[in-house]
Amino acid sequence: MSWRIGALTAACLTIGGLIGCQRHDRALDQVKPDTPSSVAQATEPPLNKPATAAQWHELVAKAFDKVDRDALHKRKVFEKNEGTMDENGITEFYACFSKSTSACQVGLEGKKDAFRKIQFFSASVLDAFDMQAKYASGGPKPSMRSYVSLRDCKSPALVILPMFRSRAGWLFLNQLSIMSDGVVVFDRKLDDGSVNRDHDEIWGIQESVHLVLESAEVDALKKLPDASDVIIRLSGQKGYVTLDKEYSRIFAKQLRSLYVAYDSLNEASKSVGTVDDSSCP
């Protein structure tokens, strides 16, 4: 397979940031990252002995580089940049999962929450599109995002985030379906207790849910970036809505980068093996 790219606690992504979320215990062109050789160079735990948190961090850190995005884009050079922690304990960085001599072929926005001991990786292109849709004259629109989450000492999780917004009334979201070239490749009923519902005076109501993909769902959505037609439907007690065609296309395209990150982090975490729980936060 040419694609290379846990427990998720109460955390999620917003447009360029993090928001809290509740009731979750599990929460671009095709390229091959150069992680296998770099991962092999890291210190591996002894056979039949649980690894430490330090060994997990060392091996996983080899899966990507933290670089200065401005230097990369303006001067085409790779300069290491770990980012700076803000007053909330959040560190933002730019993660490069596959690079050539002058380009970062798979670069994602990274955030680390020092309190929750968890990292998030997401593509910025969809956030920009969503911001335009949110402020369009037509009012708030349904949307879909995705990201990779990685808790310390655990394996990565691929998460999708459908969101319904409206000033006209509640949808009571209870199902997400995705069709690829006429074939339904994802169809999940949603537990009512897992859906977050809120009301904002400016943007109206908002319903959203963070879905950690199961193994079969991860495999099913790998074909999405190559599909010529993608339809995403949010269904609820009051009917259903379909996402904007262009928005769905961009969502599918960004999955390609996220799969590279997911596979790379998954390979790195698996190479560590069992981690001693007492050494982890």
Whether the CB-CB separation of 11 and 23 falls below 8 Å is answered with: no
Q: 37: pLDDT confidence band, cut at 50, 70 and 90?
A: very low
Gap between the Cα atoms of 199 and 207, Å rounded: 9
Mean predicted confidence (pLDDT) in 164-184: 94
Which of 128, 144, 88 is CA-nearest to residue 111?
Answer: 88
Confidence (pLDDT) at 45: 60
User: How would residue 231 be classed by pLDDT, with cut points 50, 70 and 90?
Assistant: very high
